[in-house]
Amino acid sequence: MATPAELIAAIDAKVDAIVQTITDSLSSATTAVAGLIKLATPAETIAGVVADKAITPACLGTTIADTTQSVVDSALTGAGLYLSILNKSADYTMLVEDAGGLINVDTSGGAVTITLEDSTAFAEDGEITIAKTTDDANAVTILAAGTDTVDGGASVSITTKSSLKISLNQATGAWTAAAPVPGAMQNLSDDTTPELSGPLVGNDNTVSGVNHKDTGVVTNAIGSGGGGTVNIDLTAGNSVTLTIDTATTTLAFLNPTAAPNLCMFNLTITNGGSQTVNFPVSSTFIGGDPTLTVAGNDEFLIFTKDGGTSWLIQTIGLDV
């Protein structure tokens, strides 16, 4: 008579044989026929070359989470914006080789401290960009090492989803943080309705494919010219107002857009005819020199395409 153990073993073998028979009778699954199919791993999902395995929602979610940031990182390094990109969610100490790169910090799990490399480890000046990439209440603390300083103190913090570019003066051991860039620009596509919390400085870069809506031109209200030379600085605004009230006034147009780009601005002169007003000698009035109004406003549109070497002036209206 068989022992209990032998009976169990015999039953197991019989069950295995039945299962194998059933499995052998089933065909592999296709796009048209139900059947058996293996599950793909995350690596196989990323590679995208396996045709006979299925992808589960869990596997797809893991793959997307693992690859989205790497795709962004590859684009930024490929464009030459950063020498390297690191992604951190825990405290980290910067290395010399990280200089010129970007450190993305995920604070969804709590506050994170990034300690800067000691300035004595650098052979020359350097910089690093640190970005808080998650929208939460946890801060990224950027801590200076040893006797170094950052913005004159021991540390600075990023409390909103934004980034800081921090530059090192190796000789003094002082790190200086540039103004925060709201929204962590490398993840701007994550926000379909981005908003600026302050001025945006373009540094003479080109912006393409933009449709303007409800836009205005900044006015530089100089007020009283006071006689002598009056500098009209276009970095202060491209709508300029000026009152002539004291003595002979000579106008100087400063900081136009570099050639060959067109630069133009509107100039409103009040009581220009009450004194002598000299425009730059490089100026040419379209249609002839106007007679300015003694008591009233005169409007001019002024433009250059050679960086201010010469100016064309269109009289829009006199005594308007």
pLDDT at res. 270: 96
Range in 20-24, 70-74, 201-205, 217-221 the model is least confident about: 70-74
Which amino acid is residue 278, in one-letter code?
Answer: N
What CATH code would you report for 85-189?
2.60.120.640
Closest CA to 168 of 131, 120, 201, 203: 120
Query: Residue 271 belongs to what H/E stretch?
Result: none
Cα separation, 36 vs 19, whole angstroms = 13
pLDDT at res. 185: 45
Pairing of strands 228-233, 249-254: parallel
pLDDT of 116 higher than 70: yes
Cα separation, 200 vs 182, whole angstroms = 10
pLDDT at res. 31: 63
Q: What is the mean pLDDT of residues 45-56?
A: 68
Q: What is the mean pLDDT of the chain?
A: 82
- Spatial contact of 193 and 170, defined as CB atoms under 8 Å apart: no
Q: Which pLDDT band holds residue 52 (cuts at 50, 70, 90)?
A: confident
Structure tokens at 72: 């962004």
pLDDT at res. 72: 55
Q: What is the mean pLDDT of residues 166-182?
A: 82
Q: What is the per-residue pLDDT across 138-148, written as a single tens digit (0 to 9) for each? A: 999 999 999 99
Query: Which of residues 249 and 49 earns the better pLDDT score?
Result: 249
pLDDT of 298 higher than 80: yes
| Identity of the highest mean pLDDT range in 11-25, 117-131, 174-188 | 117-131
Query: Which of residues 296 and 62 earns the better pLDDT score?
Result: 296
pLDDT at res. 24: 62
Bridge partners of 268, per DSSP, are 241, 299
* Percent of all residues in the chain with a pLDDT value above 70, rounded to a whole number: 73
Bridge partners of 263, per DSSP, are 304
Burial string for 124-147 (b: 16+ CB within 10 Å, else e) reads: eebebbbbbbbeeeebbbbbbbee
pLDDT of 189 higher than 50: no
pLDDT of 123 higher than 80: yes
Sketch the domain layout of the chain as residue ranges. 38-73, 85-189, 219-317
Q: Residue 195's Cα: distance from chain center in Å?
A: 12
Q: Which pLDDT band holds residue 186 (cuts at 50, 70, 90)?
A: very low
Cα separation, 252 vs 230, whole angstroms = 6
Closest CA to 307 of 262, 248, 241: 262
Range in 53-62, 221-230, 262-271, 309-318 the model is least confident about: 53-62
Range in 79-83, 100-104, 119-123 the model is least confident about: 79-83
The residue with tokens 């000026």 is 242
Structure tokens at 52: 């006979």
Q: Which pLDDT band holds residue 46 (cuts at 50, 70, 90)?
A: low
pLDDT at res. 183: 46
pTM beyond cutoff 0.85: no
Phi-psi region of 272 (alpha: psi -120 to 50; beta: other; left: phi over 0): alpha
Range in 131-135, 176-180, 201-205, 261-265 the model is least confident about: 201-205
